[in-house]
Every structure is written in structure tokens, then in C-alpha cells.
Amino acid sequence: MIVVLCGGVGGSRFVRALASVLPHQRITAVVNTADDEWFHGLYVSPDPDIVTYTLAGEVDEERGWGLRGDTFRWLESLRRFGHDTWFQIGDRDLATHLHRTRLLNDGWKLSAIMADIASSFRVRVNLLPMSDDRVRTIVETDAGDLPFQEFLVHRHAADAVHGVRFDGAALASPAPGVLDVIASAEAIFIAPSNPIGSIRPILAIPELRAAVLAALVPRIAVSPIVDGRSLQPPAGEMMTGLGYPVDVAGVARAYAGVIDTLIVDTADAARADDVRREGARCLVAPTIMRDEAARRSLAEAALASAGIDP
């Protein structure tokens, strides 16, 4: 079993890359749910949905989220009543959130709901939430303590970050199946997701972090920072706020003690020694997944670094 800890956009693309060279059933993605939020009475799980839609081949590639070709007429109609509509939920996407909320109200757990939605989209990769318990990423800023979606989507990550906390993580348990797949993993990958906003909440769950650290298998991260720039906001803003340099050395430092190898893009080849000084091995490979060939190339390089032959 190949285990991937991941967030939304970058995470979904890396899981899709692995799925291009491996049997889908051999992959398990453990997905961040600390970005989940209630909007208009609906429970929305942004990262799990992005992963699901991407693996189903239905994601809006231009936006990186939502369903391809979706419209937003229900939000336009809602706006006339004076409701805030800054969080964009498409008309077809709405059905996913209605279904999830109904199942939650019927007593279902997030893990069962994620499996149900993945099955409905005919996704064969095993998708697990990090926890069935409520965990929330709160970004501490000059404007106050902001839930992650408020910080990123509503305020466009414009507020200076002074800290990040994960409310509920200390008491949360890993979702059913998470500890089992980690214990049986051939390798654990950390996708090129936001190290602070997407991966740290997963590792903030004590039992989950302990299981990852106890796993005697390669633990390999792909850097979401290329040539000093974040491929997906707000990774750079959050790293800066917590005192990490926005470069591959900063990523290695953020994952200190967790990973043994960091894969960096060819644009950062000259910084490989900086990564090594942070205590991780460094593999240089093209990491920007522009097309199918690039995805396969990265997946093959990542698997080779773990000694795995697809």
C-alpha cells in the first residue's frame, strides 16, 4: 500500500500522478479535513471534494476546484436576499454538499461519507479523511483568529499571519482504517500541499503522527515551493508567518523529523545542499505536473526514490 498525506489541489494532482502508474487500489490518500466548514447550512469538505473530483476526471482544471463546466445560479439567486456568497459552490457541486449534510444528519461518519461519495464518482483510490472528529485550522492574524476558508477565500490570504492552530486536533482520533494503512505502507508520501495549512493538521492528530513516525518505510515529501514561490496559495504566506523561509529549505525544516527525503524541482537543484543541511535527503526532479507525461515522470521518480517498482 502506498499512503499519501494530502490536501486539495496539489495533493489531488499528486495522487492522480501516482494513479497513472500504479493500480488505483494500491493507493490510499489520507486527506486533510481541517478546512471543512459550514456554509448556508451545508457541510462542505473542500479538500476531499477536490481529490474526489480530480480522480474522477471531473474537476475544473482551470480553477483547480469544483466541477468542470459548473454554473453558480443558485448563489446568484441567494445574493438577492443579502446572504454572503464569497465561498463559491457551483450548482452541480451543491448536490455533493446536500448529500453529505443529509448523511451527517442521519448519523454517518465522515469516513463513511467520503467512501460513499468516492464510490458515486467511481473513484477506485482508497480515500480516507484524517479523522471523523471535528478539527479546524484557525489562522491567527492582525484581523483576529480566522477559520481557514475565511482567511484564504474571503480575505484572499491578505492578513499577516502570526500563528496557526488546529482546534480539536489534540483530542481527535485517526479515522477508521488510517492507522492500518500506515502500518502496512510500503512508503508514505507527503503530497505537494501546503505544509502548514494542509499537512500539519493531519500530523497534529497525536496517534496519526506517532504512527507515521513509527513507520519503518521511506517517508518522502514533494516540495510545493518551486524557485522560492508557492505553487498554490497560501503556503508561502503561512510559512512566512511561522518563520519558515519560502524555499525548499523551509519546506525541509517544516517537515524536520517527519521525512527522510524531499523531492524538489529542477529549478531548485542549486539548493539541494540547503535541504540536506535541514536533515533530509534531496532528490531533484521535475515536479510541476503540467500534463500526463509530467505526472507520470514525477510519480515514477517518487516511487523510485522509495525503491518501489510500479
Q: What is the pLDDT of residue 43?
A: 99
3-state secondary structure the chain: CEEEEECCHHHHHHHHHHHCCCCHHHEEEEECCCCCEEECCEEECHHHHHHHHHHCCCECCCCCCCECCCCCHHHHHHHCCCCCCCCCCCCCHHHHHHHHHHHHHCCCCHHHHHHHHHHHCCCCCEEEECECCCCEEEEEECCEEEEHHHHHHHCCCCCCEEEEEEECHHHCCECCCHHHHHHCCCEEEECCCCHHHHHHHHHCCHHHHHHHHHCCCCEEEECCEECCEECCCCHHHHHHHCCCCCCHHHHHHHCCCCCCEEEECHHHHHHHHHHHHCCCEEEECCCCCCCHHHHHHHHHHHHHHCCCCC
| 160-211 pLDDT tens trace | 999 999 999 999 999 999 999 999 999 999 999 999 999 999 999 999 999 9
| 81-100 pLDDT tens trace | 999 999 999 999 999 999 99
Task: Write down the domain spans for the chain.
Answer: 2-305
Superfamily holding 2-305:
CofD-like domains (3.40.50.10680)
Distance between CA 271 and CA 59 in Å, rounded?
A: 34
Distance between CA 261 and CA 275 in Å, rounded?
A: 9
Report whether pLDDT(232) > 90.
no
Bridge partners (DSSP) listed for residue 137 = 166
| 1-48 pLDDT tens trace | 999 999 999 999 999 999 999 999 999 999 999 999 999 999 999 999
Q: What is the pLDDT of residue 231?
A: 87
